[in-house]
Amino acid sequence: MISKTKTLSDASIDLLIINTVVPFLYAYGKHKGEERLTERNYIIRLWKECGLQAAHAGDSQALIQLKKNYCDTKKCLFCRIGYEYFKKKEG
Helix (H, G, I), strand (E, B) or coil at 9: coil
**pTM to 2 decimal places:** 0.56
pLDDT value of position 61: 85
* Cα 10 from Cα 65, distance rounded (Å): 16
The answer to whether residues 48 and 68 touch, using CB atoms and an 8 Å cutoff, is: no
Domain residue limits, the chain? 56-91
Render pLDDT for 12-52 as a digit per residue (tens, 0 to 9): 888 888 788 888 888 898 899 988 777 777 788 888 888 88
